[in-house]
Amino acid sequence: MAEEFLLAAEKSIDLAFKPRTCLPGDDITQHITNVTQKLRLGAGLVATCDNRVVSTNAGVLRYRPPNRYWLDFNHKRVRVHGVVGMIVDRNAEFYRVDIGSSSYATLGMLAFDGASKRNRPNLQPGTLVYCRVVRATKDLDALIQDDCIVLEALGRAIPFELAVGMNGVVWLNSKSNQDTILIANAILNSEGLTAAQSEAMVVKLLQEHGTSQH
């Protein structure tokens, strides 16, 4: 019995594999330790046409012998709301979009405003899109509410652009990397805080950053 247990344990563990943090767009091909079998890619990973494996979400790379790889990340299903997604594949009729759900979303080539067969966007895998889900299976709570005190407090001190998807993905743009990091940290730190605590947290971050509210 002990020998059988040890043999089973050896088959379920790959000492050459190490979990690692991945960001959207990272090429993780070199971290695939088992290339003797056809890979089974799970959530957050996609195979490209040039035989690379690329991450589509931020998360921790996981492996289950003999051939299954996936990203471990916080994801939720969506309802009819705006979401931020990444193009992972395309054909003549539609794009496949990773929106953080259990399966890829389908985005028609002509689903864009003003698009026609002769005049339509030519998006490549890796492109981010902000779109609306018109058919889904589960509800999703908003990551950031419309009256978010954190964004209001940040907006009084730092100019920035923000697109928030109901799937929990946030697109953020500002004048500098430092501002972007500060804003992202403020949003993440605000989880579970009251309005007063959130505003105090933003004030502290801005002071450390050398920026004052107007």
Query: Could you state, in order of their start, the residue ranges of all structural domains in the chain?
Result: 1-72, 82-132, 149-211
Helix (H) or strand (E) holding 10: helix 2-11
pLDDT in tens, 189-201: 887 788 888 889 9
- Please state which CATH class domain 82-132 belongs to: mainly beta
In this prediction, the residues of the chain whose per-residue pLDDT falls under 50 are 2, 5-7, 9-10, 12, 77-80, 137-142
Q: What's the number of CA atoms in the CB half-sphere (13 Å) around residue 114?
A: 2
Q: Which residues contact 62 (CB under 8 A, 6 or more apart)?
A: 19, 69, 70, 71, 72
pLDDT of res. 169: 76
Return d(Cα 77, Cα 42) in angstroms, integer: 16
- Contact 214/159 with Cβ under 8 angstroms? no
Q: Under CATH, which number does the domain 1-72 receive? A: 2.40.50.100
The pLDDT value recorded for residue 124 is 92
pTM higher than 0.75, yes or no?
A: no
The structural architecture, per CATH, of the domain 149-211 is: 2-Layer Sandwich (3.30)
Strand, coil or helix: what is 168?
coil
pLDDT at 110: 85
Domain 1-72 shares a fold with domain 82-132? yes
| Contact indicator for 161, 172 with CB cutoff of 8 Å | yes
